[in-house]
Amino acid sequence: MVEKFENLQKTLRLTEIFYSIQGESSFMGLPCIFIRTTGCDLRCNWCDTEYAFHGGEKWSLERILRHIAQWPCKLVELTGGEPLLQKNLPLLADELLERGYTVLIETGGHRDVSVLNRHVVKIMDVKCPGSGESETNDWENLKRLDQKDQVKFVIKDRTDYDFACEVIGCFGLQNSPKLLMSPVFGVMDAQQLAGWILHDGLPVRMQLQLHKFIWHPDTKGV
């Protein structure tokens, strides 16, 4: 009981918490609560959340859980920044699961995902060359995923696409886990990417960041 109380007093540094429509992954289109942590140790060329690199505010786990209870939603995404930089993030995930939430995490793929409860749905980037961070990929992470988890490739150009295809083939990802491809918004032509996927018969889900079509792409907190 004492340990439980102490855990709830532990903190994370957050940039924002908001309730919106999930714009990516196989959960696209569903109402979702987003908990965005502060800080990232990568600098992807196409990053659209640079405002989460610095600043933020310390929130206790107890305050976070109380805050999100206001919304009629049991789907939560932990995002950033890079959420796995926060040492108390796994504790928050455990508390959310205990309260009946479905928990997703968006992570860059360079941090060990095995620190998380196995029931957390991991949506993990594999960084392609166009990100400028492809050397940071922790390839062991691909072995730490299961059928419920998802691997995302953000595609900037043909080089990125070919890289993604090579990774899918080399690691035998055709059947597990779920595969996502997303064109860099405003850079990669979505029709062209769709054409490549169709031509090669890739077993991937193409996604277009739905939230950027509902709201202005620069809008925060939606």
Residue ranges of domains in the chain: 2-214
pLDDT tier, 222 (very low <50, low <70, confident <90, very high otherwise): low
CA distances from 151 to 11, 37, 52, 109, 192 (A): 28, 20, 22, 9, 21
Look at domain 2-214 and name its CATH class.
Answer: alpha beta
Q: How far apart are the C-alpha atoms of 1 and 175, rounded to whole Å?
A: 43
pLDDT tier, 7 (very low <50, low <70, confident <90, very high otherwise): confident
CB 156 within 8 A of CB 194: no
pLDDT at 6 (0 to 100) = 86
pLDDT digits (tens, 9 = 90+) for 10-25: 999 999 999 999 999 9
pLDDT tier, 213 (very low <50, low <70, confident <90, very high otherwise): confident
| 23 phi, psi to nearest 5 deg | -100, -10
Task: Give the burial string for 124-161 (b: 16+ CB within 10 Å, else e).
Answer: bbbbbebbbbeebbeeebbebbeeebbbbbbbbbeebb
